[in-house]
């Protein structure tokens, strides 16, 4: 059983939690792209999370979480937010929420049991959230790629719809790796 008292505390502090989270997302170097999102949109999304958390955790409605976070993943792709930043933002959200929950506890044995159950439920919830956000993100990417015209290719090569993706990795041709006589990379002697 999830502590309704703790859920109520989360909901009653939703404004402060939301403001703290928006600030964290817009100032953390790991989610620089979140600075491009309007703060009122972030506030709306996080308010939605904190105000509906109890319902989502109590009902364990995976369909509601799936629909909500598939849409969020698609929105983040369209907004040009890198998937790594989207996932990091969910991780920050989870960490801040768990920190808040732990700060609300009195230390009573029964409360600690309820806290533990809530922490587990929140962790499972965010595992689902991250999965569905990534799926929504990938769906949006696939949809965009499917809408691109076919790339011209020789008749013998299968036609592709994917444009090359740059991931910012430098060429490794100039790296000198030691190779042993046996051919093992990284060994200088054989």
**Domains in the chain with CATH codes:** 4-146 (1.10.490.10)
Q: What is the mean pLDDT of the chain?
A: 76
CB within 8 Å of 184: residues ≥ 6 apart: none
Residue 36 is given by DSSP the state G
With CA atoms as reference, report the closest residue to 26 among 79, 77, 92.
Answer: 92
pLDDT in tens, 71-124: 999 999 999 999 999 999 999 999 998 998 888 766 677 777 878 888 888 899
Q: What pLDDT shows up at residue 60?
A: 65
Confidence of residue 162 (pLDDT cuts 50, 70, 90): very low
Confidence of residue 17 (pLDDT cuts 50, 70, 90): confident
End-to-end Cα, the chain, rounded Å:
62
Position 32 pLDDT exceeds 60: yes
**Residue 160: φ, ψ to 5°:** -120, 155
CB 78 within 8 A of CB 137: no
Q: What pLDDT shows up at residue 65?
A: 85
Output the pTM of the full model: 0.70
33 burial class (0-12, 13-18, 19+ CB within 10 angstroms)? middle
Mean pLDDT on 41-54 = 74
CB 17 within 8 A of CB 46: yes
pLDDT in tens, 169-181: 344 344 444 444 5
């Amino acid at each position: 059983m999830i502590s309704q008292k703790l859920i109520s505390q989360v909901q009653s502090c939703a404004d402060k939690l939301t403001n703290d989270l928006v600030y964290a997302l817009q100032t953390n170097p790991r989610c620089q792209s979140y600075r491009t999102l309007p703060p009122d949109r972030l506030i709306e999304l996080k308010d939605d999370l904190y105000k509906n958390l109890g319902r989502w955790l109590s009902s364990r409605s995976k369909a509601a979480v799936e629909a909500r976070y598939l849409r969020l993943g698609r929105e983040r792709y369209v907004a040009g937010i890198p998937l790594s930043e989207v996932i990091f933002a969910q991780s920050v959200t989870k960490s801040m929420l768990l920190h808040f929950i732990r700060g609300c506890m009195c230390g009573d044995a029964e409360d600690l049991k309820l806290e533990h159950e809530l922490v587990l439920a929140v962790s499972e919830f965010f595992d689902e959230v991250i999965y569905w956000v990534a799926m929504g993100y990938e769906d949006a990417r696939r949809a965009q790629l499917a809408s691109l015209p076919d790339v011209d290719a020789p008749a013998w090569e299968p036609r592709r719809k994917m444009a090359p993706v740059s991931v910012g990795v430098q060429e490794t041709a100039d790296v000198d790796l030691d190779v042993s006589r046996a051919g093992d990379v990284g060994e200088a002697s054989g």
